[in-house]
């Protein structure tokens, strides 16, 4: 087992004894992490899908949405958490507002790409067949846009899982709490376990979504 020296304190990267005694502790952190992620994704979808659809049809709304959420996207998450504390406190809400905001941008961009990519011939054909706007949207455009939406969902998921670790600085964090503890106490085990688990969970989520995409959109292979 590789030992590492920092400040002349020798410890392994993962102390398996420690891990075997702390399974509950780690699992609780995973649960908090997954919950924070799911709320961020759900919130993002709930806002982004209607917003993306509307923005697709209204160029001015499109520009406004992409600029506003795009600007929000460039602000580092840790700054947003800090700035929200006086208003929403040290709660899940403070964590979720930036996370949802970032996801809205990713998802809206992809929804727009997806809807834009619907071939005009298909739209003409649908109009010719007598589809009105809403049914055309639901039955033709959205299904065709699904590959892009799923792609966006995958990016948003993996991205969110990483950023959730940073919410440790406001007392949340899920696996980020283990990373923070590893830093403060110069204790490698929680640090390494949390980092590895983050990677594993993100990859599993990505594979899961790719699988769902394969089921849902069989005519388009996920790239």
Partner 1 sequence: MNRYRGSYLLVAALAALATIAAACGGTTNTPGTTSKGTVTVAGFNFPESSILANLYGQALAHDGYTVNYKLNLGTRKVIAPALQSGQIDLYPGYAASELEYYNNSAGEATADPAATTAKLNTYLAKINAIALTPSPAFDGNAYAVTKATAAKYNLTKLSDLTPIAGQLVFGAGPECPTYKFCLPGLMSVYGLHFKQTLTLDTDGPATRAAFKNGSIQVGLVFSSDADLNALGLVVLQDDMHMIAADNVVPVVRTTIATDEVKNVLNKVDAGLNTTDLVTMNAQVALLHQDADAVATAYLQKHNYFS
Partner 2 sequence: MSLFQATLQWLTDPAHWQGIDGIPTRLGEHVHLSIESVAIGALIALPVGIVLGHYGRFGNLAINISNLGRAVPSFGILVIAFEVFGLGDLPIVIALTALAVPPMVTNSYVAMREVDPDIKDAARGMGYRELAQVLRVELPLAVPLIMAGVRTSAVQVVATATLAALVAGGGLGRYIVDGLARSDNPRTLAGALLVAALALSTELVLAGLQRVLVPRGIQLLKAPVIQRATTFKTA
Measured CA to CA in angstroms, residue 60 lies from 54, 55, 57, 64, 149 at distances of 10, 8, 9, 6, 22
Q: What residues line the site for partner 2 (CB under 8 A)? A: 4, 6, 71, 73-83, 85-86, 102, 106, 109-110, 113, 148, 151-152, 155, 158-159, 161-163, 165-166, 168-169, 175-176, 179, 182-183, 186, 188, 191-192, 194-195, 198-199, 202-203, 206, 223
Which tokens is 117 given? Answer: 């990519």
Three-class SS state of 9: strand
Task: Give the C-alpha separation, 153 to 163, whole Å.
Answer: 15
To partner 1, the closest distance from the beta carbon of 60 in angstroms equals: 27
Q: Which does 113 bind (CB under 5 to 8 A by kind): partner 2, partner 1, none?
A: partner 2
To partner 1, the closest distance from the beta carbon of 39 in angstroms equals: 4
Stretch that binds partner 1, among 42-50, 67-75, 154-162, 194-202 (CB under 8 A): 42-50
To partner 2, the closest distance from the beta carbon of 34 in angstroms equals: 14
Range 137-145, long-range pairs (CB < 8 A, 24+ positions): 137/53, 141/115, 142/53, 142/115, 143/217, 144/114, 144/117, 144/118, 145/111, 145/114, 145/115, 145/117, 145/118
Give the binding site for partner 1 (CB under 8 A): 6-9, 11, 15, 18, 22, 25, 35, 38-39, 41-43, 45-46, 49, 85-86, 89-92, 138-139, 142-143, 146, 149, 168-171, 177, 180-181, 183-187, 189, 212, 215-218
């Amino acid at each position: 087992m590789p030992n590492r020296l920092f400040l002349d304190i020798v410890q392994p990267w993962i102390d398996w004894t420690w891990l075997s005694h702390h399974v509950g502790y780690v699992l609780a952190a995973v649960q908090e992490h997954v919950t924070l992620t799911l709320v961020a994704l759900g919130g993002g979808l709930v806002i982004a899908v209607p917003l993306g659809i509307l923005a697709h049809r209204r160029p001015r709304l499109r520009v406004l949405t992409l600029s506003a959420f795009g600007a929000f996207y460039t602000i580092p998450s840790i700054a947003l958490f800090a700035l929200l504390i006086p208003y929403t406190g040290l709660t899940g809400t403070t964590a979720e507002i930036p996370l949802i905001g970032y996801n809205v941008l990713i998802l809206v961009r992809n929804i727009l790409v997806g809807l834009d990519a619907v071939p005009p011939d298909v739209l003409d054909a649908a109009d010719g067949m007598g589809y009105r706007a809403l049914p055309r949207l639901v039955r033709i455009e959205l299904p065709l846009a699904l590959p892009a939406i799923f792609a966006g969902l995958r990016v948003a998921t993996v991205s969110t899982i990483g950023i959730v670790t940073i919410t440790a600085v406001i007392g949340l964090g899920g696996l980020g709490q283990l990373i923070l503890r590893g830093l403060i106490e110069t204790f490698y085990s929680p640090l390494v376990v949390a980092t590895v688990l983050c990677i594993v969970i993100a990859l599993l989520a990505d594979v899961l979504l790719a699988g769902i995409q394969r089921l849902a959109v069989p005519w388009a292979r996920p790239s």
